[in-house]
Chain A
């Protein structure tokens, strides 16, 4: 208080004492409380016992006494009472004076300032953290977007591929349908043709694709008729099953021969068969082929007839062959077509067949002339036939000559 008049210094002291709630404790070397005074109650220090250890009564002094340095100050200590004080540890003789000066107001001001600073710092930290999270989320979003774009591209590529495959598949389907329908058409044509021709011939016609061959046309053909002698009487007396078995054996023996000689089978009528040559495909010597077939048929039926005789069937086999122009082609209507021949030559062959006795192969003079080198033929003479205006010179083929 040097320089201050004593009255001012006293007033200042009184002011400080009152305003700053001065309180004090005196502690001896054994750390016992030996004195106390001032605004002790403001710091929750009422009821102190002198002569007893200070730290047990003033617990915030635990560990602080004796101080390691002088003066020793503990600033801004908030006590249980809510007051904050600066603690001054001042030595005097063998004792320590602990002086408490209230700093609650200054502390509150400092606290408010500090709080603002900390709040701001926390807000900044929070903002930085949120920014980092936002950036991370952004990066993840970008990555996802890139993945999505890649997936979309892959999907588009897959879609294009599927589309292309679908187009390709449709094309294949179309081709397949065309092939199937072409094959079906071929199968139908084959089925139709096989009814008329030897299978090899039918395939030939189909593979050549020339079905115009089936259109109506005229051609020089050799026509062969054959049937069984005594068949009508047999059919009347025998059981139908027996008749069917016989016909089956008969056809089974003859049809392969017709195919072998590449004749065109016109029709079956019961025991009667009509075959011709040189149509629809041309052959070099139709009469010779017809005669060769006739001899083979006669041989086959002769063998069959041995069985028939054992069963007491009285059946013979006759053949007639003529050559001449006929009109050939499909006859009938949609759903029931036949390939057939029409003309005098057909009637002639049929009449010759009717006239043939068992084992005879009756031929016209033209046929006989055509096969003169290949077969032994015997003239029978001029015969008159029903439906034919003029008599015909007829011969019988005995056998084929050895080649």
Chain B
């Protein structure tokens, strides 16, 4: 096994899509029903073991995007990759995710990312059309349904991104 790597990963997405909850689930394996908005950025660290190396993921959980606070690119600087998060029950959050990804790419060039369609436990309220997701997949996007509440797909998504940034 080679030396430990350390990679900065950003969580990007509209507000209230579950970025902080995903990190909490990934790092601490817990979930809280209380919604607490993130201001600025919250830093966490998680070590993941890949097949041939150990990677320290430095997780930058950024405040959600909305009309009054736009993305501070200074937070994204130095990232090896990012997780783009949307809420499957709110179609507008997918639009925010798409625009964030565009801004990041303009600023920093193509970085590895995975699109997470979170809150997959609320299937009866699902509002994102399958055709749209299929279209993104056809464009080469990595799209994962996740649920911070149940833990579904969370480790896989972080692991997949870790694998890509560690190459």
Contacts and interface: CB of A to CB of B under 8 A. Distances in A.
Interface string A111-154: 10011011101100100010000000000000000000000000
Contacts, number: 78
Interface string B65-99: 01011001011011110000000001010000000
B151 interface: no
A63 B7 CA distance: 8
A118 B64 contact: yes
B39 interface: yes
Contacts of B63: 114
Contact of A118 (B8, B15, B41, B127): B15
Contact of B58 (A60, A114, A125): A60
Contact-residue size bin, chain A (C-beta under 8 Å from the other chain): 20 to 34
Contacts of A185: none
Interface stretch (B42-50, B115-123, B156-164): B42-50
A97 B35 CA distance: 36
Interface in A50-74: 55-56, 59-60, 62-64, 68, 72-74
A110 B43 contact: no
Contacts of A79: 43
Contacts of B8: 62-63
A355 interface: no
B16 interface: yes
Contacts of A117: 66, 68
Interface string B28-66: 000000011111111111000000000010100001101
B78 A63 contact: yes
What does DSSP make chain B's interface, helix, strand, loop or mixed?
A: loop
Contacts of B56: 59
A74 B78 contact: no
Contacts of B58: 59-60, 62-63
Contacts of B72: 75
Interface string B4-22: 0011100000011000000
Given A72-B74, A74-B74, A84 B7 contact: no
A181 B68 CA distance: 97
B8 to A, nearest CB: 4
A80 interface: yes
Contact of A77 (B6, B43, B64, B92): B43
A115 B7 CA distance: 30
A125 B67 CA distance: 14
Contacts of B79: 63
Contacts of B43: 59-60, 77-80
Contacts of A75: 40, 72
A347 interface: no
A107 interface: yes
Given A118-B66, A125-B90, A63 B37 contact: no
Contacts of B92: 125
A107 B43 CA distance: 15
B44 A80 contact: yes
B87 to A, nearest CB: 10
Q: Which 4 A-B pairs have the closest CB atoms?
A: A63-B78, A76-B40, A63-B8, A78-B42
Interface of B: 6-8, 15-16, 35-45, 56, 58, 63-64, 66, 68-69, 72, 74-75, 77-80, 90, 92, 127
29 contacts: A59-B6, A60-B43, A60-B58, A62-B7, A62-B58, A62-B78, A63-B8, A63-B58, A64-B77, A74-B75, A75-B40, A77-B41, A79-B43, A80-B43, A84-B39, A107-B39, A111-B36, A111-B38, A114-B37, A114-B69, A115-B36, A117-B68, A118-B15, A118-B37, A118-B66, A121-B66, A122-B16, A125-B92, A129-B127
Given A78-B43, A121-B15, A122-B35, 7 more contacts: A62-B6, A74-B74, A76-B39, A80-B44, A84-B39, A111-B36, A118-B37
Interface of A: 55-56, 59-60, 62-64, 68, 72-80, 84, 107, 110-111, 114-115, 117-119, 121-122, 125, 129
